[in-house]
Amino acid sequence: MSVQWLLDDLESAPTPYHAVARAGVVLGAADFTSVSLEQPLPGGPGRFVASVGGLSMAWVVPEGIDPGAARFTVVGAHTDSPNLRIRTNADVASAGWAQLGVEIYGGVLLNSWLDRDLGLAGRVTVAGPDGPEQRLLLDDRPLLRVPQLAIHLDRAIREDGLQLDPQKHLTPLWAAGEAPGFADWVATSLDISSDDILGWDLMAFDVQPPALVGLDGDLLASARIDNLFSSFCGVRALADAAPTVVAGDGADGNIPVLVLYDHEEIGSTSATGAAGSALAALLERISLAIGNDRGAHLASLTRSLVVSADGAHATHPNYVDRHEPSHQIAVNAGVVVKRNANQRYATDAVSEGRIRSICRNAGVPVQTYIHRNDLPCGSTIGPTTAGQLGVPTVDLGAAQLAMHSIRELAGVADVGHLTDTLRAAFLTA
């Protein structure tokens, strides 16, 4: 199968804001109508999408839906990835070099950012005639670089390994000698005056494009696989499922919802993160729009399902001892259901049973990931969303290597596995 669409999606989305814009383009081409959350939601059937910053939410209401049977099938993912973000007072000078001050965002594998060609992208708030406006900025030229220290000046690296201080050693080079102020560069890029800049959320990104790699081209190497892989598979799955959902008779009450959150990598606590109220508010507003009251809405949640789609750890061939021996995970071998007894993942026997049934009917193989007891386990939007909504939730995703590196690795066949699973969930969960 061709996965060029995913490569194109990944390359187009160096920041959460560009990911949301790309999702809007794909859904718009699938006849989704953009709506404002500042206005009442449409009451009739249709396909809708709403976005705020790095958050996008899309849903489908079928013809003739039975409000009394209403339930939600929610697929959630996140648009943010660990990276280097530009400080407000960005201009730094050292030893005759012009540099940019950065903040470390999320759990960055710091060494992977060394000796890489980096572009700049994000959003800028500017003064407009009717108040502040948001502008997207994307410059994919190799503007920045964080050069590694030569081994001749760090002989201990052979014995002690690479030691990086995030405050001292991750400041990228911007120019040899003097350079224009960063705010002036931003203004020139947007064709505005620097006095009109009110703030920015700008970040560095690897300009190397996604690629198919390996002897048979069955692997996908790219930045931001965690978690734009899941996000864009979710977008395509909803776009594919929408015509069938809208044309249905609505008797089973199924309302598919896709939510792409921001800020998962730093704990999800924000207005556009999973710990915020955005999804809960949207679901209740959808219920009210189709004619349910709050009591009926709360009842609908008990019939619903959340699928938290995020990357899963494939077993690393060079570090097999870091993985649970009885739960080895392979790329291109199917979706991965993630379990954790301490609820770092939200899957339980009930939600796992539902997704395994969906995968069986869709012909998608399933693997199970469980973390070692002697290593701390990461988490996802799954437990947070489950706690916010009180809805059965399953954590699953596609297997990958080098998670949180500037360039990660996944399997080509798993693009189809995950997209087919999410499409089937939207149609049958």
Q: How many CB atoms lie within 10 A of CB 32?
A: 23
Is the pLDDT confidence value at 105 over 70? Answer: yes
Q: Please write the tens of the pLDDT for every residue from 333-358.
A: 999 999 999 999 999 999 999 999 99
User: How high is the mean pLDDT of the chain?
Assistant: 96
State the average pLDDT over residues 167-193.
Answer: 96
Long-range contact set of residues 161-167: C-beta below 8 Å, sequence gap at least 24? 162/111, 164/110, 164/111, 166/104, 166/110
Which value, to the nearest 10 degrees, does the dihedral of the CA atoms of residues 101, 104, 109, 112 take?
A: -20
| Cβ contacts of 214 within 8 Å, gap of 6 or more | none
Helix (H) or strand (E) holding 125, with range, is strand 118-128
Q: CA-to-CA distance for 267 and 369, rounded, in angstroms? A: 22
Residue 429: its pLDDT value, please? Answer: 63
Residue 249: its pLDDT value, please? Answer: 76
Is the pLDDT confidence value at 302 over 70? Answer: yes
- Is the full-model pTM beyond 0.95? yes
Q: CA-to-CA distance for 242 and 252, rounded, in angstroms? A: 15
Handedness of CA 283, 429, 30, 1 (dihedral sign): positive
Is the pLDDT confidence value at 31 over 90? Answer: yes
Residue reference for tokens 């998608």: 364
Is the pLDDT confidence value at 222 over 80? Answer: yes
State the average pLDDT over residues 224-233.
Answer: 98
Task: State percent of the chain over pLDDT 70.
Answer: 100
Handedness of CA 85, 87, 92, 94 (dihedral sign): negative
Is the pLDDT confidence value at 220 over 70? Answer: yes
Query: Within its chain, how far is the Cα of 319 from the centroid?
Result: 26
State the average pLDDT over residues 217-238.
Answer: 98
As beta bridge partners, residue 15 has none
Q: Please write the tens of the pLDDT for every residue from 358-411.
A: 999 999 999 999 999 999 999 999 999 999 999 999 999 999 999 999 999 999
User: By mean pLDDT, which of 249-253, 279-283, 375-379 is the weakest?
Assistant: 249-253
Residue 123: its pLDDT value, please? Answer: 98
Residue 350: its pLDDT value, please? Answer: 96
Q: CA-to-CA distance for 81 and 405, rounded, in angstroms? A: 10
Q: How many CB atoms lie within 10 A of CB 178?
A: 9
**Amino acid in position 422:** L
Is the pLDDT confidence value at 2 over 80? Answer: yes
- Which band of pLDDT confidence, cut at 50, 70 and 90, is reported for residue 248? confident
Residue 251: its pLDDT value, please? Answer: 84
Angle of CA points 126, 129, 134, to nearest 5°: 30
Which value, to the nearest 10 degrees, does the dihedral of the CA atoms of residues 183, 407, 327, 310 take?
A: 40
Q: Higher pLDDT residue, 161 or 86?
A: 86
Is the pLDDT confidence value at 82 over 90? Answer: yes
Counting every residue written for the chain, the total comes to 429
- Which band of pLDDT confidence, cut at 50, 70 and 90, is reported for residue 1? low
Structure tokens at 29: 């081409």
C-alpha separations of 1 from 10, 218, 332 in Å: 17, 10, 13
Query: Within its chain, how far is the Cα of 224 from the centroid?
Result: 8
Give the E-state strand segments of 145-242 in sequence order: 173-176, 197-206, 211-213, 219-222
Residue 357: its pLDDT value, please? Answer: 97
**Amino acid in position 99:** Q
| Cβ contacts of 49 within 8 Å, gap of 6 or more | 23, 24, 27, 28, 32, 33, 34, 35, 56, 57, 58, 59
Q: CA-to-CA distance for 425 and 305, rounded, in angstroms? A: 9
Q: How many CB atoms lie within 10 A of CB 376?
A: 8
| Cβ contacts of 69 within 8 Å, gap of 6 or more | 251, 252, 253, 303
As beta bridge partners, residue 61 has 46
Give the E-state strand segments of 223-333 in sequence order: 254-261, 305-309, 312-313
